Amino acid sequence: MRMISLAGRRAGVLPVAVLAVLVAGCGTERAGGSAGADRPSRTPVATPSGPVDLPCPGESPTSAPPTTPATTGPAVPPTDHYAENHGFMVPFPLHGRQRCEGLSAVGRVEKALEPLRKRGDFAPESTSGALTRLGYSAGQVRSYQNGSTGVGFLIDAFPLCVEGTMNRDSTKADAFGGYPDHTGCDRPSGGH
């Protein structure tokens, strides 16, 4: 009985398959025409370069932030790598539903602290008390003296963070989504 070797036949199959593909062609060009001439052309669709933020409840459509990322630094990277080395201290902005939750939290915080500001009560204990009455636990709220006539605060409800200050002139708060390479809302003191 004689055995027929299949290894030689298999080795010859690959070149034949490649040749068949090349002969058939794989483009859409036809003789006497241009590529895709018999089909309607596709209109390119612009894709946003960043998250799209729609207006949140109670916010007018014109007050929504721009949907393109803002550039805060020079177009040319610094030669000393300062921005790169300190990027871990730049908080993440909120987008979408989280942005709306952040705006709502900021409004509640400012409303809760405004009576203290009007009374001139800038004690960190009073600020913490007002913020815990909003439903934040005592472990989530930190307040501290900020100068001789002001108080600073941080609410760590990660991934939603609210930070701000209150003094005789104003109460200001801002919401953000934490920091790179770090869990929690406190500003990291060292990067990687």
Digit-by-digit pLDDT tens for the chain (192 residues) are 455 554 555 555 555 555 555 555 555 555 555 554 555 555 555 555 666 777 888 776 665 554 434 444 455 555 667 767 667 778 889 999 999 999 999 999 999 999 999 999 999 999 999 999 999 999 999 999 998 889 999 999 989 999 999 999 999 999 999 988 778 898 887 655
Domain extent listing, the chain? 83-176
**Residue whose pair of structure tokens reads 């400012």 in the numeric block:** 110
Tokens standing for residue 151: 């108080």
Give the pTM: 0.63
Residue 185 CA to residue 60 CA, distance in Å, equals 28
User: What DSSP state is assigned to residue 25?
Assistant: -
Residue 155 CA to residue 117 CA, distance in Å, equals 18
Crossing angle between the packed helical segments 96-119 and 124-132, to the nearest 10 degrees: 130
Closest CA to 142 of 112, 122, 162: 162
